[in-house]
Amino acid sequence: GAKAEGRRTHRFFVPEMDASAKARLTLEQDLRQALVNGGFEIHYQPLVNLRTGMVSGCEALLRWRHPQRGMVSPAEFIPIAEDTGLINDLGDWVLRTACNEAATWPLHVRLAVNVSPVQLKCDTLALRIAGALAASGLDPRRLELEITEAVLIRDDEAALSILHQLRSIGVRIALDDFGTGYSSLSYLKRFPFDKIKIDRCFVADIDADSSGSPVIVQAVVNIASASNMTTVAEGVETEAQREMLRTLGCTEMQGYLFSKPKPAAEVRGLFGPDDVLPVAAVA
């Protein structure tokens, strides 16, 4: 009967769930260890102004060097850090470390840091960010926080109020991965963003005749400029994509075409005169 069936299903699934729960627990413990033992590092990926070809900022991207597993992708460990609440301490570490680094960069190079929706639930976030800025000496106007629309989907008044606190410190707020998931234009009304990051799925086929992506990107660029926001295209890998984005009036680009995320010591080398792409390619 249904009961026997249920029990059989139960018996079938439990060992597997145990295994994945154990794996998660191990990862969680490894994450805590890594935070104490210096197992994390930050790589920085340049954002390039499409008109000038100059590096205008860098996004801090967290990397975890696991003793046995090698480099673990943030896509794998960030969700665990979020579930366990460790993201708050980890996020503080990223902010402090990246602010200290960015304080040594030329003044025109901004720092972008990803902030998880979980961090935006903590009402001391603005205070801690102000602390990281003060300790590093980084001008708040040079810090850009990237948040995803997950924050806005929940219509979370508390998170919105924290975003307003952050804005009042002077930091800029960017909407990351725009156009994915349950994107809605109404989110742009709910909070006044400084920047929209157009997800790389619209960039990948932007130079293909048959795709609707150029029309969508043009619409986002128009909406942004009508509302005093700038735009950055993520995942730019080819010259053709860059040329199309420049023509459409996108403000910045980010992607492997210019540079992959690099360790701090390597990314510095991109800020000099070398951060301008060959003139033929820019014109």
Looking only at residues 113 through 132 of this chain, which bind ligand C2E when binding is defined by CB under 6 A? 114, 116
Size of residue set near ligand C2E by CB under 6 A: 23
Closest CA to 46 of 206, 217, 269: 269
CA distance 251 to 53: 11
Nearer to ligand C2E, 262 or 268 (CB): 262
Cβ atoms of residues 91 and 116 within 8 Å: yes
Least separation in angstroms between residue 90's CB and Mg ion is 15
User: Which tokens belong to 84?
Assistant: 């366990």
Q: Which backbone phi and psi does 204 adopt, to 5 degrees? A: -55, -40
Does position 41 interact with ligand C2E (CB under 6 A)? The reply is no
Nearer to ligand C2E, 101 or 177 (CB): 177
Distance from the Cα of residue 85 to its chain's centroid: 19
Residues in the chain: 283
Q: By CB under 5 A, name the binding residues for Mg ion.
A: 114, 146, 176-177, 234
Nearer to Mg ion, 34 or 111 (CB): 111
The position carrying tokens 């619409």 is 219
What SS3 state is found at 66? strand
Long-range contacts of 70-76 (CB under 8 A, 24+ apart): none
The position carrying tokens 């040079």 is 142
Does position 79 interact with ligand C2E (CB under 6 A)? The reply is no
Does position 177 interact with ligand C2E (CB under 6 A)? The reply is yes
Window of 20-28, 73-81, 133-141, 271-279 that interacts with ligand C2E by CB under 6 A: 73-81
Nearer to ligand C2E, 251 or 254 (CB): 254
- Tell me the per-residue interface mask from 240 to 259 with ligand C2E, x by CB under 6 A, - otherwise: --------------xxx---
Kind and range of the H or E element at 129? helix 125-136
Give the number of other Cβ atoms within 10 Å of residue 192's Cβ: 13
Of these partners, Mg ion, ligand C2E, none, which one is at the site of residue 188 (CB under 5 to 8 Å by kind)? none
User: Which tokens belong to 69?
Assistant: 């597993």
Nearer to ligand C2E, 41 or 139 (CB): 41
The position carrying tokens 């590093």 is 136
Does position 220 interact with ligand C2E (CB under 6 A)? The reply is no
CA distance 43 to 134: 22
- Tell me the per-residue interface mask from 141 to 160 with ligand C2E, x by CB under 6 A, - otherwise: -----x--------------
Rule CB under 6 A: which residues touch ligand C2E?
45, 60-62, 73-75, 78, 91, 94, 114, 116, 146, 176-177, 234-237, 254-256, 261
